[in-house]
């Protein structure tokens, strides 16, 4: 195994936590990735080292040569040479030369890039489809993207289509992506959340103190302050179908949602039935049939029945994408397979 310096596993550059309340969800590999081999960014040589890409056996198939690297999405990965970013394909060939200050991955065929402190969107040939004009953006999802105009601090959010036309005018303090036809909308003072549809019509008026996006016809919503408030789940009318009772909650993924009760995390189904009793100090969303979970001061992985499938032994973990998941042991990064075996790292 090749020696590995500590590195950050970039599943997505920002992990795209859309604001403090509305959406806390990691973007993973899209369905379109199935036609491409899954490759994993890794760095060797310490903080000043170079990044390359591994296959599922832990072998470098794109040799370390880049100053920064992100995941492959829609067949392309963003990489840096010096302080400029571009995109490569699975062979390591430059598809879009490094010339951008900041980039986001490709979603829905477009990638966000920064030129002279303004965000725009390019296509897979590097041509601007939507010229740089925004103060902040989010990736496209199902044909729509959130963009911010009017300044980083005082600006407002709206939603554009893939031609750059506003379908939702930029009048909102906080705005999530459309999911199941609804987007969460928030105000800063007072801080309240509701939901609009793709025409901008209010479907669920501002009334909740925190919300997350819809999944499986349910959205987590909180009533009360951040310290003592309780989370439940609402339907598309805004009615609580699972009453507020949890200290924390997450969106449904693979039919289960993580919830915190009595200081521990477990999982419920869409009816609110407890499937995995609260027992973990921390836990993640299910992805590819497993979720990371913390027991004591170590992280391992469980299946959808709550059975431990990889014993808690890591000091940090990430989701499995394909065959591998990123982990750390005492600050030393590595990749493991679904048997819990190291295929790359940790630093020796």
Q: What are phi and psi of 33, to 5 degrees?
A: -70, -10
Q: pLDDT at residue 13 above 80?
A: no
Residue with tokens 């890409």: 53
Beta-bridge partners for 285: none
Sequence spans of domains, the chain: 1-107+327-348, 198-251, 253-314
pLDDT tens readout for residues 274-318: 999 999 999 999 999 999 999 999 999 999 999 999 999 999 999
Which range (12-16, 21-25, 40-44) has the least confidence?
12-16
Evaluate the omega torsion of the peptide bond into residue 99 and state whether it is cis, within 30 degrees of 0.
Answer: no
Query: Mean pLDDT in the chain?
Result: 90
The count of other CB atoms within 10 Å of the CB of residue 127 is 8
Q: What pTM was estimated for this model as a whole? A: 0.88
Evaluate the omega torsion of the peptide bond into residue 346 and state whether it is cis, within 30 degrees of 0.
Answer: yes
CATH architecture, domain 253-314: Beta Barrel (2.40)
């Amino acid at each position: 195994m090749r020696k590995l310096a500590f590195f950050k596993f970039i599943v997505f550059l920002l992990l795209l936590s859309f604001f403090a309340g509305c959406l806390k969800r990691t973007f993973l590999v899209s369905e379109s990735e199935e036609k491409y081999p899954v490759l994993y960014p890794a760095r060797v040589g310490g903080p000043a080292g170079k990044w390359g890409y591994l296959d599922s056996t832990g072998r470098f198939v794109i040799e370390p040569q880049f100053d920064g690297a992100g995941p492959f999405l829609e067949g392309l990965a963003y990489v840096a040479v010096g302080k400029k970013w571009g995109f490569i394909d699975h062979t390591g060939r430059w598809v879009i030369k490094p010339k951008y200050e900041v980039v986001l991955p490709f979603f829905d065929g477009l990638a966000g890039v920064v030129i002279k402190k303004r965000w725009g969107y390019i296509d897979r040939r590097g041509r601007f489809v939507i010229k740089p004009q925004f103060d902040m953006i989010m990736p496209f999802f199902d044909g729509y993207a959130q963009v911010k105009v009017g300044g980083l601090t005082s600006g407002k959010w709206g939603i554009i289509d893939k031609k750059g036309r506003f379908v939702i005018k930029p009048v909102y303090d906080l705005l999530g992506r459309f999911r199941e036809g609804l987007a969460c909308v928030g105000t800063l003072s007072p801080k309240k959340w509701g939901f609009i549809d793709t025409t901008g019509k209010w479907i669920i008026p501002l009334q909740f103190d925190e919300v997350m996006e819809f999944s499986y016809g349910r959205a987590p919503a909180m009533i009360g302050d951040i310290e003592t408030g309780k989370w439940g789940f609402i339907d598309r009318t805004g009615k609580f179908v699972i009453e507020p009772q949890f200290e924390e909650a997450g969106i449904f993924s693979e039919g289960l949602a993580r919830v915190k009760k009595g200081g521990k995390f477990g999982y419920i189904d869409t009816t609110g039935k407890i499937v995995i009793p609260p027992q973990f100090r921390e836990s993640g969303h299910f992805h590819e049939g497993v979720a990371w979970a913390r027991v004591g001061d170590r992280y391992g992985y469980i299946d959808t029945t709550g059975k431990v499938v990889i014993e808690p032994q890591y000091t940090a973990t990430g989701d499995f994408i394909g065959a591998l998941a990123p982990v750390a042991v005492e600050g030393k990064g590595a990749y493991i397979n679904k048997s819990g075996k190291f295929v790359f790292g940790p630093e020796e």
